[in-house]
Amino acid sequence: MSVRMVLMGPPGAGKGTQAVRIGERFGVPTVSTGDIFRANIKGGTELGKQVVEYTSKGLLVPDELTDRIVADRLAQPDAAAGFVLDGYPRNPAQVDALDEMLAAADTELDVVVEISVDSAVVTERMLRRAELEGREDDTPETITERLAVYAAQTEPLAEIYVNRGILAPVDGLGEIDEVTDRLVAAVEPFLAG
């Protein structure tokens, strides 16, 4: 089944985990900007060097870099029949950029899922993840900054998608399997055939 989907939600909401599961469920690739940036930083690439000064502070990477990464990835053959986008778009300019990419390919988004979780819960999850995974942007200062950036720049995007009639809100509290089931159920009404 083809699905073109965006997964939104605050840092620590479990987006990454759910994005992979949803991609597998629908047989489409998951495209995570955060994962792409982290892989490049780890690999010491030119892109990695350019983005680390932003990611390490919890700030958004400049749009021109981010948009290009996403456009290149969505142009790969495996994304032609659909994708789950995790971590993009994150501000209004990226919404426009994504619209343009899809329009150029004569497609559009089917659904935008917004996972919501209480901010005390997400902070606690991220601090725990910092210990388990050693993600260097999971420090208390950076977490605070990422939550603030989300509230200021990304959360308002939900309204754009509400107005288009494609926003599906999902409660992110609970067991991972439970949240996946909720997500699948929330997405299905938006898929044609």
Positions that interact with ligand ADP (CB under 6 A): 11-12, 33-34, 37, 54-55, 58-61, 66, 87-88, 90, 94, 137, 146
Active-site residue, selected from the candidate residues 4, 21, 73, 90: 90
* Least gap, CB of 157 to ligand ADP (angstroms): 11
The answer to whether residues 7 and 85 touch, using CB atoms and an 8 Å cutoff, is: yes
Beta strand residue intervals within the chain, DSSP E: 4-8, 30-32, 83-86, 111-116, 167-171
* Cβ closest to ligand ADP, residue 54 vs residue 166: 54
Whether 38 is catalytic? no
Q: Is 182 an annotated catalytic residue? A: no
If the CB atoms of residues 94 and 189 are measured against ligand ADP, the closer one turns out to be 94
Given the residues 38, 73, 146, 182, the one annotated as active site? 146
Catalytic (active site) residue 146: yes
Rounded CA separation 147/153 (Å) = 10
The CB-of-9 to ligand ADP minimum distance in angstroms stands at: 8
The Cα-based distances of 101 to 64, 73, 76 in angstroms read: 13, 11, 13
The residue (of 107 and 153) whose beta carbon lies closer to ligand ADP is 153
Question: Closer CB to ligand ADP, residue 89 or residue 192?
Answer: 89
Q: What is the DSSP letter of 10?
A: -
At residue 1, the 3 state secondary structure works out as coil
Beta carbons within 8 Å of 64's beta carbon, 6+ residues apart? none
Residues annotated catalytic, as ranges = 15, 90, 129, 135, 146
